[in-house]
Structure 1
Amino acid sequence: MDKPVEMFDRGYEWAALDRFINDPQPGATLGVVSGRRRQGKTYLLDAACRVAGGFYFGATEATDAESLRRVSTALTEHVRPASPYHFADWAEAVDALLALGAERPVPVVIDEFPYLARANPELPSLIQEAFRPQREQRTGSRSRLLLCGSALSFMGRLLSGNAPLRGRAGLELVVRPLDHRLAAEFWNIADPRLALKVNAIVGGTPAYRREFARGDSPTGPEDFDAWVIRTVLNPETPLFREARYLLAEEPDLRDTALYLSVLAAVADGNATRGGIAGYLERKATDVAHPINVLEDAGLLQRDSDAFRNNRPTYRIAEPLVGFYHAIMRPVWDQLERPGSAARVWQASRRRFTNNVLGPHFEQVCREWALHHADPELLGGLPARVGHGVVHDPSARTGHEVDAAVIGVADGAKPPLLAIGEAKWNDTMGIAHIERLQHIRELIARAGKYDTGRTRLICFSGAGFNDKARSAADASSDILLVDLPTLYGQGS
C-alpha cells in the first residue's frame, strides 16, 4: 500500500499494517492496535481502509443494542446488499465482517473496541469463537480484522494471561508518540533549544499541533513565552483542558481525586512510593493500587534504580499532564479568568524550569543514549538506560546519576557503558567531569557492574567551558553532548 503523502512519518506503523493486511495466507486474521489518545491511530487505520478498500467502524459509548444497529447501518452502506443488515447479535455481525474477505485480503477495523466490550463483556469470547482454527467462516475468509483502542489498561489485558483472544492475534501494534527529533520536525522547529522547551510541554502527540493548537508553532525562541500564553494557558483552546480530559477518559480511574493527587505528588518531585504516600498523608500500601492503575493507563512510568534494587521511581509519562500538574492545576481558578495567563506564566517560569524542563531534558538524554547514540560512541549497544543513586560510604551520602547506560551482559557482570550528568541551564566544566570520575570509582568498588570501559557523558543545554572541552579532546572516555547533538544536528 502506498502511504498517503499527507501522513507525517509513521512509516514503521504503515509498513506493519501493509504486511498484515496484504498477507497472502488463506484464512481470516486478527490484529490489535493500541496507543494513548491523540496519537493518530484513527487517522492511520482509516487511511489504510481507504487505500485498501476496507471497512472502518468507529464505536461510541452506547448500549449494546444501539452499537449493533450502528454497525448494521455502516456495513449496509459499505456493502450495499439487496436487503439491509439487521444483526440480531454480535456473532452474526462478526461473521458478516469475515465475509467481506471472501475474495481478497481486506482490512476490517473496529475502532474504540473497549466501548463495545464494556457494553457486552462477552464480545472478546465471541470473536475468539469466530476465529476458531477450523471454522469454515474463518478458513474461507481473508478479512484482516483490526481491533483498536485507546484505553491502554483494557487493551493490555485483551491478549494477556487467560484472556479469550490470547494467541489469536497475528499483529500487536502500538502507536507511540513521536520522539523528540520527529516532534521538532513535525512542529517545524529548527532551533533545538526551542524544540526541547516545546516538547517538554506537548511531547510528541501529533493532534496537539494539528487540531488542538490549530497549527500554531512558536515562530522562534523569542515567541516561546507568547506561544505558551496563547495556546496551552489560553482557556479558549482545547489544549487548556486536555490534561484533565485525558484522566477523565480512562475507564479504570474511578476515584479521580485520588489519581489527580498521585500525579500532583509526582509533578512536585515526589518520585518514590514513600514520597507519594507522604505527599498524600497516607500509608505506602494505600497508594500501591492507584500507582498501578496509572501505570496501566500509560500516565505513570516506573523507572528502576540502576544501582539499588527495589528502589523504583515514578515519572509522568505524558508531558502535557506533567505541565498541567506542575503549572496549571495549582492556579486553575486564576487561569480560567480571561487575561490571567500572562501574569500566571510570568510567576511560573522558574517552576517550569525546575519541575518540568529539567526532568524532561534528563529523560530526553536517556532516550538519546538508548535510541539515537552510535553504539561505537558508547562502546557497545545499550541494553537499557536508567538512572539512580550511587551510595558513597565514606561521605555517608548518595550521588545521583542522571543516565546509566548498561550494555548486554556477556559475562558475570553486565558492562556499564557510560554514566552521565544532565544540566539544562548550567555551562558544564571540569568539576562535573571529576564528579562523574568519582562516581565511577564508587560503582567499581560496589562490584555490581563491569566498569572497565565506562565512559563519562556530560549533557548540557547551555554548553561547556574550555576546560571541559580540553578534557574531552584529551580522552576518548569523556563525551560532551549538547542540544544540537541530541537533535542530530552535529557534534
Structure 2
Amino acid sequence: MDFVGRERELALLKAEFDLSRPSLVIAYGRRRIGKSWLLKQAADGRPSIYFQATIASSAQNLETFKAVVALAIGQSKLLAGLGTWESVLHYLADAAEKQPGLVVTFDEFPYLLADDKSLPSVLQRFWDTGAAASGNLKLVLCGSAISQMEDLLAEKNPLYGRKTMSIDVKQLSLREAAEFFPDYSAEEIIETYAVFGGVPHYLAQCDPSKDLRGNIIDLLLTETGGLVNEPEFLMRSEFEKPQTYAAILAAIADGCDSTGTIADRIKGKTSDISPYVARLIRLDLITSEKSLDADEKGRNRRLLLNDQLLAFWYRFLPRYLGAINSGHGEKLFDSIIVHALPEFMGGAFEKICRDHARLHLEEQTGVPAAEVGSIWGHSDMDVDVAGTLLNGDAFFGEAKWRSRRVDMAMVEKLKQAPEKSGYGGTYGHHFLFFSKTGFKEEVQQFAGVDASVHLIDPELLVYGPDRRYRHNPRGPK
C-alpha cells in the first residue's frame, strides 16, 4: 500500500529525527490507525531498526530484538553475548556513533511491559547516562494500548520529563482518505468516508474500482468479508469484557447518547457503565460533547461514535448476521440498507462538516477555528456546526445531505442562531451552509453580496478552493 496522507505528522517526525541530539519519541493511537506505517515512512532513508514486540516473555522478546538488530546493522559476538535490555541499548548507542541518527523503533511496546514492569526504569537509567548523545540515537516507543503509553508521560513514571516528542496518531481526514479513491466523485468519496471513516486499514481494503455498494457488500455483507468481524476483533483485542463494550457501542449507534439512556437500554446502572464509557472515550472510539452554549458546569453532554465503520456496523449488521452468513448480503443491501442510508448519512455528514471546520475553515473565513462543536437543546433551533475563530468571531453552520437545495428560509433561520443561542457574543458572525445538492439561485446571489455567508458543496469539502480533480474522470470538470 502506498503511503497516504499524514503529511503534517510525517513532517513533524522527520524534523525530530533531523535534530542534532538524541530523541525519545512516544507514539500512540488506536489499533488499525497506521502508526507503524507512519513511523517506518519517517525513518525511510535513515539508518534504522524496526522491532515489533509480541506477547512473549521479556527474554524471548530480547533475543528476537537482538536478531533484528543483527540483520539491520550486522552480527557481532558482542551483541550475541548481551543478556539485558540495558546492555543492548548501550550497544545501540555505540552503533549510532558509526551511523549517526540511528532510529530504533519499539512497536507494541506495552507487550514488553507486560512481562517486565522495570523496563521504563531501565530506559531511564540508560537515557540519564547521556550515552545516546554521542551518536544522536533516536528511540521510538509505540503502542496501541493508549492508557499504558500515556502512563509513560505521567509524572509518576520513570520516563517523565525525558521524552523529546509525543504524537497521538488520529484518523485520516476526508481529503486524505480521498486519495484512496482517485476515480470517485466528491459525493462518492463523502459517502464512502461516512461508512468506512478515516482508519487506513479499512480504507485500504476497499476496491477503488468498485462503487460504495460493491465495497459494502464485499467487505461487510459477505460472510468472508475482510471487515465483517472487525468490531468483534477490536473488542477482543482491547477489552477484558468485550460484551459490555459492544453493548454500549450498539446502544450509541441506535441513538442512545447519554450514560443514562445507555444504562436503560442494556439494563444496567449508570454508575456501573461510566468506567466503560470513559475507556471507550480514551480509545477515541466515542466522543463526549456538550452544546457550545451550555453552562460550563452543565452536565448535558452527549455521546457519539467516533468510528464510522463501527457506527455503520452496529446500525445495520447485528440483526442481520444470519442473513449475511446465509449469503443474502446483496438482498440485504438492496432491500433494507439502501433505504436507510440517507438517514445514516445525515449524522455522518454533520460530523464531516465539523471536521472541515476544525481543519479548513480558514478557506472560507480567512481565520482558523479555535473551537468547534454544535448547539442543541433548544425547542426551535439546533445548529449542526458552530464555534469561534482565533480572532473571536463566531460561526454557525447547517449541514444538509439531502436532495433539497438550500433556500433563503434556511439562511434566515440560521441568521437567528446567535441571538437565540446567546453564543458568540457581539463579535462578527459567519454563517456556513454545507449542502449535497447545492443552493438555490437566490441564496447564491445573497452570498455574493453578504460576505458573512459561505456556501460549501461536496467538491469544496473534498478538494478545497482550488478544486483539483487529480485523476477524477467521474467528478465535475
Q: State if a TM-score over 0.5 links the two structures.
A: yes
Matching of residue 261 in structure 1 with residue 217 in structure 2: no
Q: Distance in 2 between matches of 1:352 and 1:207?
A: 23
Task: Please give the per-residue CA displacement for 1:163-210, whole angstroms capped at 9, x wherever unaligned.
Answer: 222211112123332210121122224411100111011122223343
Amino acid at match of 1:341: G
Aligned to 2:311: 322
Q: Distance in 2 between matches of 1:461 and 1:91?
A: 58
Aligned to 1:478: 453
Q: Distance in 2 between matches of 1:49 and 1:86?
A: 28
Cα 1:273–1:408, aligned 2, differ >3 Å: closer, same or farther? farther
Structure 1 contact 187–209 (Cα < 8 Å) conserved: no
Q: Distance in 2 between matches of 1:57 and 1:244?
A: 27
Structure 2 contact 180–208 (Cα < 8 Å) conserved: no
Q: Distance in 2 between matches of 1:313 and 1:10?
A: 29
Deviation (angstroms), 1:67: 1.1
Q: Distance in 1 between matches of 2:112 and 2:453?
A: 55
Q: Distance in 2 between matches of 1:330 and 1:63?
A: 41
Matching of residue 433 in structure 1 with residue 411 in structure 2: yes
Residues 331-350 of structure 1 mapped to structure 2, 5 A cutoff: 331-337=320-326, 339-346=327-334, 347-350=336-339
Aligned to 1:271: 257
Deviation (angstroms), 1:323: 1.3
TM-score normalised by length of structure 2? 0.89
Q: Distance in 1 between matches of 2:262 and 2:280?
A: 13
Q: Distance in 2 between matches of 1:416 and 1:279?
A: 41
Task: Please give the per-residue CA displacement for 1:135-161, whole angstroms capped at 9, x wherever unaligned.
Answer: 153444421111111222222222134
Deviation (angstroms), 1:341: 0.7
Amino acid at match of 1:120: D
Cα 1:367–1:99, aligned 2, differ >3 Å: closer, same or farther? same
Cα 1:190–1:300, aligned 2, differ >3 Å: closer, same or farther? same
Counterpart secondary structure, 2:370: strand
Counterpart secondary structure, 2:374: strand
Task: Please give the per-residue CA displacement for 1:16-60, whole angstroms capped at 9, x wherever unaligned.
Answer: 2322223223xx431112223233322233344452121111111
Amino acid at match of 1:463: G
Q: Distance in 2 between matches of 1:40 and 1:185?
A: 15
Aligned to 1:394: none
Task: Please give the per-residue CA displacement for 1:338-368, whole angstroms capped at 9, x wherever unaligned.
Answer: x21112212123333323x221110111111
Aligned to 1:168: 162
Aligned to 1:197: 191
Cα 1:179–1:189, aligned 2, differ >3 Å: closer, same or farther? farther
Q: Distance in 2 between matches of 1:46 and 1:174?
A: 16
Cα 1:20–1:471, aligned 2, differ >3 Å: closer, same or farther? closer
Structure 1 contact 69–86 (Cα < 8 Å) conserved: no
Cα 1:41–1:100, aligned 2, differ >3 Å: closer, same or farther? farther
The answer to which of 230-239 and 288-297 deviates more is 230-239
Q: Percent identity?
A: 26
Deviation (angstroms), 1:269: 1.5
Amino acid at match of 2:101: P
Q: Distance in 2 between matches of 1:189 and 1:417?
A: 36
Matching of residue 85 in structure 1 with residue 80 in structure 2: yes
Task: Please give the per-residue CA displacement for 1:98-152, whole angstroms capped at 9, x wherever unaligned.
Answer: 33312322101111111111221221122112111xx153444421111111222
Q: Distance in 1 between matches of 2:198 and 2:92?
A: 34
Counterpart secondary structure, 2:376: strand
Q: Distance in 2 between matches of 1:67 and 1:418?
A: 53
Cα 1:333–1:87, aligned 2, differ >3 Å: closer, same or farther? farther
Matching of residue 360 in structure 1 with residue 356 in structure 2: no
Q: Gaps (5+ residues) in structure 1?
A: 392-396, 410-414
Which of 389, 392, 399 is equivalent to 2:381? 399
Matching of residue 422 in structure 1 with residue 417 in structure 2: no
Aligned to 1:412: none
Deviation (angstroms), 1:419: 0.8
Structure 1 contact 327–351 (Cα < 8 Å) conserved: no
Aligned to 1:53: 47
Counterpart secondary structure, 1:70: helix
Deviation (angstroms), 1:89: 3.0
Cα 1:371–1:365, aligned 2, differ >3 Å: closer, same or farther? same
Root-mean-square deviation (Å)? 2.4
Q: Distance in 2 between matches of 1:296 and 1:452?
A: 35
Structure 1 contact 390–442 (Cα < 8 Å) conserved: no
Structure 1 contact 380–417 (Cα < 8 Å) conserved: no
Cα 1:226–1:97, aligned 2, differ >3 Å: closer, same or farther? same
Structure 2 contact 82–88 (Cα < 8 Å) conserved: yes
Matching of residue 234 in structure 1 with residue 222 in structure 2: yes
Q: Distance in 2 between matches of 1:153 and 1:136?
A: 28
Q: Distance in 2 between matches of 1:89 and 1:141?
A: 21
Q: Distance in 1 between matches of 2:183 and 2:146?
A: 30
Structure 1 contact 327–352 (Cα < 8 Å) conserved: no
Counterpart secondary structure, 1:98: helix
Counterpart secondary structure, 1:125: helix
Amino acid at match of 1:436: L
Amino acid at match of 1:259: Y
Cα 1:451–1:335, aligned 2, differ >3 Å: closer, same or farther? farther
Q: Distance in 2 between matches of 1:402 and 1:8?
A: 29
Aligned to 2:26: 32
Q: Distance in 2 between matches of 1:245 and 1:351?
A: 26
Q: Distance in 1 between matches of 2:275 and 2:212?
A: 38
Deviation (angstroms), 1:86: 4.4
Cα 1:379–1:13, aligned 2, differ >3 Å: closer, same or farther? closer
Structure 1 contact 381–407 (Cα < 8 Å) conserved: yes
Deviation (angstroms), 1:451: 4.0
Q: Distance in 2 between matches of 1:459 and 1:331?
A: 33
Structure 1 contact 209–217 (Cα < 8 Å) conserved: no
Task: Please give the per-residue CA displacement for 1:210-230, whole angstroms capped at 9, x wherever unaligned.
Answer: 3x34xx1254xxx33233212
Deviation (angstroms), 1:239: 1.9
